[in-house]
Structure 1
Amino acid sequence: MFEAAELGRKISREEFDAMAPVLRTELLDLQQRLREADFPVIIVFGGVDGAGKNETANLLNEWMDPRWIVTRAYGRPSDEEADRPEYWRYWRDLPPKGKIGMFLSSWYHRPLLDRVHGVISVPEMDEMLERIVHFEKALADEGALIIKFWMHLSEKAQKKRLKKLEDDPLTAWQVTEVDWQHFKMYDKFVGTAERLIRHTSKGHAQWHLVEGADPRYRSAVVLNTLKEAILKHFDEREAVKKVAAELKKPAKSKKIEKPKALASQPSILSSLDMTQTVEGEEYNRQIQEQRGRLSQLYRKAKERGVSTVLVFEGWDAAGKGGTIRRMTNALNARDYQVIPIAAPTEEERAQHYLWRFWRHLSRAGRVTIFDRSWYGRVLVERVEGFCTEEAWRRAYGEINDFEEQIVEAGHVLCKFWLHITAEEQLARFNQRSEIEYKKWKLTDEDWRNREKWDVYEAAVNDMVEKTSTGLAPWTLVEANSKSLARVKVLRTVCDSLEAALRKKRG
């Protein structure tokens, strides 16, 4: 693979100086056009030490307008980053639509180094690379352009390059003892890199091998590749828009034979016993018992750095807010945050839909409570047509991967669907309309959503069926009885915390 890149190619100063003004103007024009685009550009730099990754990133910032470029390089995770799932810092730094993001020592850095140093096995490395593929695929499916450059040097060229940098007082700081240690492991790095590139060079995010010995040749290849990739992506996005516009056109009417009605099948929600309740003194006893239990458990979790993520979904007027309030009474206000999810802001619409949820994941030992969540993609966005069918169907896998990362990072994740019957919802709507301090909760949208009850119920059943996994199961809560719902939610959170603490202790 790398032998093909070792061609000893060079570009003279005269050739480069002749092409530079035109190429720079074209890139600046593209950058201005990109500012109005519906996609970001993500550039990943990888390669051997001394092959010109930093210099190339600096050149792009010099040639283009740096105000619209995000440049990030990663070292060891900070305490803040180590408290969260590994990919939190990458999601946090993603460029919004219309901007360019350049990443050095990125999500490829750890699997490469860990494998070279024998920290992980080949299957473990492949598993890490598969997560990278899923990550990049999720970004590309939402429209992002991902361009990856692997800067390569032969062993001889790398030694020469490191020596040259080291001998110059202005660049000596760039060469460290670690660089020379890596040089002694050149063959291991190359072999591991070949596996990494083969595994992760996909149609949506291809690697481009760049010979890094000659700075002018390296720069010309990267700059021209970037220009052509952005131009091609603009064309592809326009084609996608045209297809979408055609699909929205009403189909020509034709006689269709009405299919025979199928016998109605019991759904996941319809199997719940909605007559259950707990009232009076028994409710007071149980709620106090579970709140006391939660207060003790969350303090232990905080001491041991165990974070908790709670997700609340359910019908309008199902009692999510009241249940959350009963729970937070048992917590210290310094240690939890409730994230109410509404329609995305302008800033959030400029990012992948999961970005706004990644950014809210808290530090170790804290509790994050989502009042509605990332499941909006497969519920309201699906039902109301705010995203394509392809997008919401794809979201099941993206959500499962997101939640898997949360759990693998050691967080406790509990997901609750608070279920009420249509009759109970109507009664609560009517009650809200008569109580002054509750009137604000009842909106025209609530009544419109009620008219689509059957469609939403089908979406909820699909959601539970496709995203209730072994690592992140759904808890369905019979919420016709508010008191029963509150006790059940508290008990479930306590049981989950106890299990996590036992595992941590073990």
Structure 2
Amino acid sequence: MFEATKIGRSVTKTDFKAQQETVRTQLLAVQRELRQTDMPLVILLAGVEGAGKGEVTNRLNEWLDTRGMQTFAFWDETDEERARPRYWRFWRTLPQRGELAILFGGWYQLPIEHRFRGLCTDAELDAELNRIVDFERMLIQDGALIVKFWFHMSESDQRARLKALSRDDRSRWKMLPDKSKFSEHYQEFEHVAERVILHTDRGISPWYLIEAADHRYRDLTVGKTLLQAIKARLSHPEPEDPPSASKGLDLPDAATAQITVIDQLDLNQALERDEYKKQLHRLQAELNELAWQAYKAKRSTVMVFEGVDAAGKGGAIRRITRAIDARLYRAIPVAAPTDEEIAHHYLWRFWRNLPRAGYITIYDRSWYGRVLVERVEDGLASNAEWRRAYSEISRFEEQLVESGIILFKFWLQISQDEQLRRFEEREKVAYKRYKITTEDWRNREKWPLYKAAINEMIARTSTEAAPWSLIEAEDKLFARIKVLRIVCDGIKDALQHGISAQYLSCGEKRAAPPQPKK
């Protein structure tokens, strides 16, 4: 594979100066065009050590307008990054629409290093590469352009380059002595790199292999390749996904054929107030203790609350937060996205709010808006966008669980009659009036559409790693106790059993978190 990067191509100083001005001018022009689009640009730089990734970055910063342009290196993990799911660090660096980011190594760096050092097998590496392919496809389907450069050179050229760098006091090579292992075992590293490139070289996100021995040839080739990639995408935007089988079942008209999973809930279940108070006191005390145990064990918790309007999500959340020290949790009400959030992938705003190790985040509404309100309401999401969201959401939740997060997903359900009663009560009671809007009344008219969307959402996203808990909420007291009991049992079970090995990725094998003291 890498033979074409060891030919000995070069560009003279005179030729470089003659071509540089044209490339630079054209790059600035397409960058201005990019700013007027909904396309974020990710430039990913990877390759053998000593190939000049830093020099290329400096050159691009010289040629391009640095406004709306950021550079990120992933040499090591910060304490903040280690306390969250691994891909959190990458989501934070994604540029907003119309801007660009340069990533050193990006999401490829750790898998390559882990396989090279024997921290994972080929099969585990391939599983991680499948995740990368899915991740890149998801970003591209949302409008991103990802341009991936791999810089390569012969073993002798690399040895000479690293020797020169070792004598340069300004070289970062002196800061990273462990990187010398990659040059000492050139063939082994090249073997791993070939496997990675073959697995992730896709039509929508190809790799560009760049011969890096001559810096002028390398820089001009990068500039021209980047220019052509941006031009091609601006001229021919990616077409919307074709219709797929994921649009749902075309059910017969008979009433018995229209039954959904929420129709199977027994909404007559209720709890007497005296019994409710007794259980509430016991469960809140237990949850308080469990929250501190999870904090000491560095196990985070994410709770997602969804449900029909007026189903009692806020009341259930308050019974949870009253049991937990305020320093341990954040409750996030999810409303319409801000301009900054619209400028990114819809999952970006949820990734950035994930809790660090030992803490709790509670989402009042969540990423499921993409397959509920954005599906039902016209103009909020295209058919292709909400159809592919099921798999995007499931992969997102799988990563949360894989990282050790304890994930709860609650759907609170009430009948149409009970919803009407609660709506009318809200209009009559002064301190509840703020809860009712004209939009709530309008949504009632779309009950059948939401019912179908809810059914498909549960069917397609209730997985072994992240199952849904369906809550019969006709009686608020019963619903609150059921939610508390599920949370207590779930945290207790997670602390006892640690992180399941089936959810760990390449290079992430680690001991289970310490067991809490009884």
TM range (shorter): over 0.9
Measured after TM superposition, the shift of residue 174 of structure 1 is 5.1
Distance change >3 Å, CA 121–CA 282, structure 1 → 2: same
Distance change >3 Å, CA 172–CA 67, structure 1 → 2: closer
- Given that residues 374 and 381 in structure 2 are in contact (C-alpha distance below 8 angstroms), is that contact kept between their aligned partners in structure 1? yes
Counterpart residue number, 1:486: 480
- After TM superposition, what 4+ stretches of structure 1 lie above 6 angstroms from structure 2? none
- Given that residues 115 and 192 in structure 1 are in contact (C-alpha distance below 8 angstroms), is that contact kept between their aligned partners in structure 2? yes
| Secondary structure of the corresponding residue to residue 426 of structure 2 | helix
User: Whole-Å Cα distance in 2 between the matches of residues 408 and 172 of structure 1?
Assistant: 33
User: Whole-Å Cα distance in 1 between the matches of residues 294 and 204 of structure 2?
Assistant: 41
Task: Give CA-to-partner distance per residue, 1:87-132, whole Å, 9 cap, x none.
Answer: 0010011110111111003211111111111111111111111111
Counterpart residue number, 1:278: 271
Query: What amino acid maps onto 1:449 in structure 2?
Result: N
Distance change >3 Å, CA 260–CA 395, structure 1 → 2: closer
Counterpart residue number, 1:34: 34
| Secondary structure of the corresponding residue to residue 264 of structure 1 | helix
User: Whole-Å Cα distance in 2 between the matches of residues 178 and 305 of structure 1?
Assistant: 29
Measured after TM superposition, the shift of residue 178 of structure 1 is 2.4
Distance change >3 Å, CA 428–CA 17, structure 1 → 2: same
Counterpart residue number, 1:102: 102
Match of 1:345 among 338, 343, 352: 338
Match of 2:491 among 493, 497, 501: 497
- Given that residues 166 and 175 in structure 1 are in contact (C-alpha distance below 8 angstroms), is that contact kept between their aligned partners in structure 2? no
User: Where do 1:63-462 residues align within 5 Å?
Assistant: 63-171=63-171, 176-237=176-237, 240=239, 261-262=253-254, 264-265=256-257, 266-385=259-378, 386-462=380-456
Return the TM-score normalized by structure 1: 0.94
Task: Give CA-to-partner distance per residue, 1:338-388, whole Å, 9 cap, x none.
Answer: 011011000000000000000000111111000000000000000013111
- Given that residues 152 and 211 in structure 2 are in contact (C-alpha distance below 8 angstroms), is that contact kept between their aligned partners in structure 1? yes
- Given that residues 165 and 175 in structure 1 are in contact (C-alpha distance below 8 angstroms), is that contact kept between their aligned partners in structure 2? no
Task: Give CA-to-partner distance per residue, 1:70-95, whole Å, 9 cap, x none.
Answer: 10001221111111000001001111
- Given that residues 166 and 172 in structure 1 are in contact (C-alpha distance below 8 angstroms), is that contact kept between their aligned partners in structure 2? no
Counterpart residue number, 1:255: none
Measured after TM superposition, the shift of residue 165 of structure 1 is 2.2
User: Whole-Å Cα distance in 1 between the matches of residues 317 and 181 of structure 2?
Assistant: 54
Task: Give CA-to-partner distance per residue, 1:401-421, whole Å, 9 cap, x none.
Answer: 000000111111000000001
Measured after TM superposition, the shift of residue 260 of structure 1 is 7.4
Counterpart residue number, 1:4: 4
- Given that residues 287 and 323 in structure 2 are in contact (C-alpha distance below 8 angstroms), is that contact kept between their aligned partners in structure 1? yes
- Given that residues 424 and 480 in structure 1 are in contact (C-alpha distance below 8 angstroms), is that contact kept between their aligned partners in structure 2? yes
Distance change >3 Å, CA 217–CA 320, structure 1 → 2: same
User: Whole-Å Cα distance in 2 between the matches of residues 170 and 263 of structure 1?
Assistant: 75
Measured after TM superposition, the shift of residue 68 of structure 1 is 1.5
User: Whole-Å Cα distance in 2 between the matches of residues 200 and 278 of structure 1?
Assistant: 55
Query: What amino acid maps onto 1:264 in structure 2?
Result: T
| Secondary structure of the corresponding residue to residue 137 of structure 1 | helix
| Secondary structure of the corresponding residue to residue 67 of structure 1 | coil
| Secondary structure of the corresponding residue to residue 286 of structure 1 | helix
User: Whole-Å Cα distance in 2 between the matches of residues 340 and 487 of structure 1?
Assistant: 22
Query: What amino acid maps onto 2:215 in structure 1?
Result: P
| Secondary structure of the corresponding residue to residue 62 of structure 1 | helix
Which is worse superposed, 385-394 or 357-366? 385-394
| Secondary structure of the corresponding residue to residue 273 of structure 1 | coil
Task: Give CA-to-partner distance per residue, 1:141-164, whole Å, 9 cap, x none.
Answer: 101000100000110110111122
Distance change >3 Å, CA 474–CA 25, structure 1 → 2: same
1:55 aligns with 2:49: no
Return the TM-score normalized by structure 2: 0.92
Measured after TM superposition, the shift of residue 503 of structure 1 is 1.0
RMSD: 1.7
Task: Give CA-to-partner distance per residue, 1:41-94, whole Å, 9 cap, x none.
Answer: 001111001111110011101111112211000122111111100000100111
Query: What amino acid maps onto 1:431 in structure 2?
Result: E
Distance change >3 Å, CA 102–CA 280, structure 1 → 2: same
- Given that residues 162 and 175 in structure 1 are in contact (C-alpha distance below 8 angstroms), is that contact kept between their aligned partners in structure 2? no
Query: What amino acid maps onto 1:381 in structure 2?
Result: E
- Given that residues 272 and 478 in structure 1 are in contact (C-alpha distance below 8 angstroms), is that contact kept between their aligned partners in structure 2? yes
| Secondary structure of the corresponding residue to residue 209 of structure 1 | strand
The share of aligned pairs that are identical, in percent, is 48
Measured after TM superposition, the shift of residue 261 of structure 1 is 3.5
Query: What amino acid maps onto 2:489 in structure 1?
Result: D
Distance change >3 Å, CA 340–CA 260, structure 1 → 2: closer
Counterpart residue number, 1:469: 463
Distance change >3 Å, CA 47–CA 454, structure 1 → 2: same
User: Whole-Å Cα distance in 1 between the matches of residues 17 and 138 of structure 2?
Assistant: 39
- Given that residues 311 and 413 in structure 2 are in contact (C-alpha distance below 8 angstroms), is that contact kept between their aligned partners in structure 1? yes
Query: What amino acid maps onto 1:11 in structure 2?
Result: V
Measured after TM superposition, the shift of residue 181 of structure 1 is 2.3
| Secondary structure of the corresponding residue to residue 209 of structure 2 | strand
Measured after TM superposition, the shift of residue 176 of structure 1 is 4.5
Measured after TM superposition, the shift of residue 264 of structure 1 is 3.2
| Secondary structure of the corresponding residue to residue 61 of structure 1 | helix
Measured after TM superposition, the shift of residue 294 of structure 1 is 0.6
Measured after TM superposition, the shift of residue 188 of structure 1 is 0.6
Q: Which runs of 5+ in 1 are unaligned?
A: 248-258
User: Whole-Å Cα distance in 2 between the matches of residues 168 and 302 of structure 1?
Assistant: 46
User: Whole-Å Cα distance in 2 between the matches of residues 85 and 224 of structure 1?
Assistant: 36
User: Whole-Å Cα distance in 2 between the matches of residues 41 and 328 of structure 1?
Assistant: 40
- Given that residues 4 and 211 in structure 2 are in contact (C-alpha distance below 8 angstroms), is that contact kept between their aligned partners in structure 1? no
Counterpart residue number, 2:511: none
Distance change >3 Å, CA 123–CA 324, structure 1 → 2: same
User: Whole-Å Cα distance in 2 between the matches of residues 79 and 206 of structure 1?
Assistant: 33
User: Whole-Å Cα distance in 2 between the matches of residues 319 and 268 of structure 1?
Assistant: 19
